[in-house]
Amino acid sequence: MSTQKTYFGSLEKYQKGAVEVLADDPKNYAFSNIFEVASTSKPYEKVAVGKNLKYVIEALRAEGTSPWFACAHDEAALCMDGEIEVHYVKPDQAPVAANKEGTVKLSAEPKGTKMGWVKIRRGHQALLPAGAAYQFRAAGKPGVLLVQTILGDATVEKWAEICQTKA
């Protein structure tokens, strides 16, 4: 029996992965390393690294304080590296139309009731509830978040830059 060892990546130390494609074209597969994507992204740029129909997984470089975001549907943020606070506000007025899909970047903190905050570290997940505004604050060194959402105006698609194209 062979021994397998699991390595957890980080922004500071990751290995570029690869897909071994048998009798097919690698362009038919989306494969990227979230840490590599985050290492070359602007802080809080929401880069799609996975897509299924209208649903996306976005990799975000968590560095400093993000703008405020809101969404008409639930989202989830999974911390892959670092330590990130997620601050919440229940806006007095809906910041996003009920039928709008995807994350919307707000121009400023909305007026409303502060709902509190949570601190997440590697492996911790935070719900980003529908109708609430949220802001990420990275403590210390940059981190990495994966956000599950629906493709929207704030999602950046740069598949040609991040996907493996050669076997």
Over the stretch 101-154, which tens digit does the pLDDT of each residue have? 999 999 999 999 999 999 999 999 999 999 999 999 998 899 999 999 999 999
Q: Domain segments of the chain: what residues? A: 26-162
What are the distances in angstroms from CA 109 to CA 69, 114, 164? 9, 10, 38
Q: How far apart are CA 124 and CA 157, in angstroms?
A: 25
What is the pTM for the complete model shown? 0.85
Question: Which residue blocks in the chain are alpha helix, DSSP H?
Answer: 34-39, 159-162
Q: pLDDT grade, residue 85 (50/70/90)? A: very high
Nearest CA to 165 out of 62, 26, 23, 12 is that of 26
pLDDT of residue 165: 65
Q: How far apart are CA 58 and CA 60, in angstroms?
A: 6
- Phi, psi torsion values for 134, nearest 5 degrees: -140, 155
* Number of Cβ within a 10 Å radius of residue 141: 13
Q: pLDDT grade, residue 160 (50/70/90)? A: confident
- pLDDT tens readout for residues 6-63: 667 777 877 766 666 566 665 555 555 899 899 999 999 999 999 999 999 999 999 9
Q: Which two tokens stand for residue 127?
A: 């719900």
Residues 6+ apart with CB under 8 A from 159: 30, 48
Q: How far apart are CA 165 and CA 132, in angstroms?
A: 39
Residues 6+ apart with CB under 8 A from 121: 79, 82, 83, 84
- What is the second-level CATH architecture of the domain 26-162? Sandwich (2.60)
Q: How far apart are CA 53 and CA 68, in angstroms?
A: 26
